[in-house]
Amino acid sequence: MAQIKKIGISTGGGDCPGLNAVIRAAVKCAIIKYRWEVVGIEDGFDGIIFPDKKIRPLTLKDVSGILPRGGTILGTTNRGNPFCYKVMENDVEVVKDISDQVVANTKKLGLDGVIVIGGDGSQKIGLDLFRKGMPVVGVPKTIDNDLDATDITFGFDTALHTATDAIDKIHTTAESHHRIMVVEVMGRDAGWIALEAGLAGAAHVILIPEIPFSIERVCEFIHQRESQGKKFSIIVVAEGVKAQDKAEKIFGREKRDVPRGGSGYVIGDAVAMCARRETRVTVLGHIQRGGSPSPFDRILSTRFGVAAVELIARGEFGRMVCLRGNKIQSVDIAEAVGRMKGVDPDGDMVRMAKSIGVCFGD
């Protein structure tokens, strides 16, 4: 096995509480345990595309005090895929595959290992670079908790706390004003945040992408509550909700998928019309991605950061760390990418929620 001397760390995709905790753990373990040199690759893979400007040493001093900080000290981007990189040529935007250059730059920089911290998209790019010879290991990240390869991703717990706290606060107004309050949370493809924050925040209606909803059913449920003397209702909506039918009635068009962000407003309007009740909408948006990671996320991130360094030490490239039960393990990135973990509409959690009277709009 080649001797490791120097490694790089990059963060890609949307930011997420716990990214800095992963960076800190990886840097500390690499330096304290293995005496490797560590560099930070800034703004996703851009750092390796422009190494002169976007590669910087990461010392123990650089990671001191960053454990409780949200965001990423390395910067991140949702763009910048080296396999289809947008560049301007003669004032015209063209898309180029510059992956060979990225692999060559990794060698020039003397990186014996690259830790790619990111969601499904970043892991997919990491895998393709690994297949071209880059010594990649992955760390999964997303507040949506929708990666099948790991039981939990860091960031989810913090987002859940933020969303639950918001629902608790919104309860006050709902109750005092006898209103219907719609709270939109993140979750483009999976309804984990909506489901768990909805349950933790005692929401009455939870709408998630995995269970297409009918607006009539939601209104029927609200009327039923009112007939029992319940004068307010809380509806938690995942941004990626899908309508069962008559989507054009609700969303103004045939397509059942709601545009990312804003679905809460559309549902709020539709409910206000059919339930004839004063309705207000709150979209939590990026507040859920911000802030200091929860103790659970700090510890999970630290475990992931150390585990990624250990993968490099053992030469296990092309693998991604994950949590199974309470054990840190790893999987081939190839097996992990493209496999989404959604809420099971017939699973335990949904059945339990239905048993206590939560409406899913189905």
Does residue 186 interact with ligand F6P by CB under 6 A?
yes
Binding mask 272-301 for ligand F6P (x = CB under 6 A): -----------------x------------
Asked if 57 and 63 touch (Cβ cutoff 8 Å), the reply is no
Q: How many residues does the chain have?
A: 362
Task: Mark whether 257 is an active-site residue.
Answer: no
Q: Which candidate in 144, 146, 157, 297 is catalytic?
A: 144
Alpha-carbon 302 to chain mean position: 17
Contacts of ligand F6P in 122-181 (CB under 6 A): 142-144
Alpha helices in the chain (DSSP H): 19-28, 46-49, 51-54, 99-108, 120-131, 156-177, 192-200, 215-227, 247-251, 263-275, 295-313, 333-336, 348-355
At 135 the three-state DSSP class reads: coil
Least separation in angstroms between residue 142's CB and ligand F6P is 5
Choice from 188, 223, 280, 341 touching ligand F6P (CB under 6 A): 188
Does residue 244 interact with ligand F6P by CB under 6 A?
no
Least separation in angstroms between residue 221's CB and ligand F6P is 26
Binding mask 96-125 for ligand F6P (x = CB under 6 A): -----------------------x------
Contacts of ligand F6P in 70-89 (CB under 6 A): 78
Residue 359, φ and ψ in degrees, nearest 5: -100, 130
Q: Which of 112/144 has CB closer to ligand F6P?
A: 144
At 138 the three-state DSSP class reads: strand
Q: Which of 133/259 has CB closer to ligand F6P?
A: 259
**C-alpha distances in Å from residue 316, one per residue of 33, 115, 188, 192:** 18, 12, 32, 31
Q: Which of 14/75 has CB closer to ligand F6P?
A: 14
Report the alpha-carbon distance of residue 288 to residue 17 in Å, rounded.
9
Task: List contacts with ligand F6P (CB under 6 A).
Answer: 14, 78, 119, 142-144, 186-188, 239, 260, 289
Task: Please give the positions annotated as active site.
Answer: 144
